[in-house]
Amino acid sequence: MFTGIITDIGRVVSVERRGDMRARIGTGYDTARIDIGASIACDGVCLTVVTLGPDWFAVDVSAETLSKTTLGGWTEGRRVNLERALRVGDELGGHIVSGHVDGVAEVIGRREEGGSTRLTFRAPGALARFIAPKGSVALNGTSLTVNEVSGETFGVNLIPHTQAATTWGEVAEGDRVNLEIDTLARYVARLAEAG
């Protein structure tokens, strides 16, 4: 489990494709404190560390994950939002995030608004009903509050700190991002269907 609070921006050092994909990610994390088998959310996708170096870790990404996320588009040099797994006693500053991406959303609008940046996204139709105003979503692993929803579109505001501490300062219209809906919304909808 994760919180959606990004704690490092990594860089894709290498990508090796063999049906599945192995990616090596440069990091500012102290890799001596990372175990083989640890989970790290990479742009919101929970991945397992398979090898380590002094300033990098490597992950294997299955063909299934590549088909459901933006990770298939990773190239060397790409910057990636990173978060280590939540430990008992850690502060829960965002919301509960599983790292199991539900689909891919597209950035369809970007404008400056006061000191913030307003982004508008188009969600896949099957997921749009799970997104609610003032609810939470995880986009590229970042816990964000939804401002408004209209059909399949929704908006968020990014404060300057979020843009500086994540890769969100680089986002542009047309970019695709990993979307994880709020776990609570998923279960409420499932219970409503069963009732």
The CATH code of the domain that includes 12 is: 2.40.30.20
In a domain, 47, yes or no: yes
40 and 110 in a single domain? The answer is: no
Cα distances (Å, whole numbers) of residue 24 to 27, 61, 75, 153, 194: 10, 11, 11, 34, 43
141 and 181 in a single domain? The answer is: yes
In a domain, 50, yes or no: yes
Total structural domains in the chain?
2
In a domain, 139, yes or no: yes
In a domain, 29, yes or no: yes
The pLDDT tens digits along the chain (195 residues) read 899 999 999 999 999 998 899 999 999 999 999 999 999 999 999 999 999 999 999 999 999 999 999 999 999 999 999 999 987 766 777 788 899 999 999 999 999 999 999 999 999 999 999 999 999 999 999 999 999 999 999 999 999 999 999 999 999 999 999 999 987 777 777 677 776
- Determine the Cα–Cα distance for residues 120 and 118; give it in Å rounded to an integer: 7
The pLDDT of residue 17: 92
69 and 152 in a single domain? The answer is: no
Q: Which domain holds residue 160?
A: 103-194
Closest C-alpha among 170, 97, 156, 95 to residue 123: 156
The tokens describing 158, both together, are 């990014």
- Determine the Cα–Cα distance for residues 67 and 76; give it in Å rounded to an integer: 19
In a domain, 96, yes or no: no
127 and 187 in a single domain? The answer is: yes
The pLDDT of residue 13: 98
pTM here?
0.93
Closest C-alpha among 167, 175, 188 to residue 44: 167
70 and 117 in a single domain? The answer is: no
- Residue 87 CB contacts under 8 Å (≥ 6 apart), including other chains: none
In a domain, 183, yes or no: yes
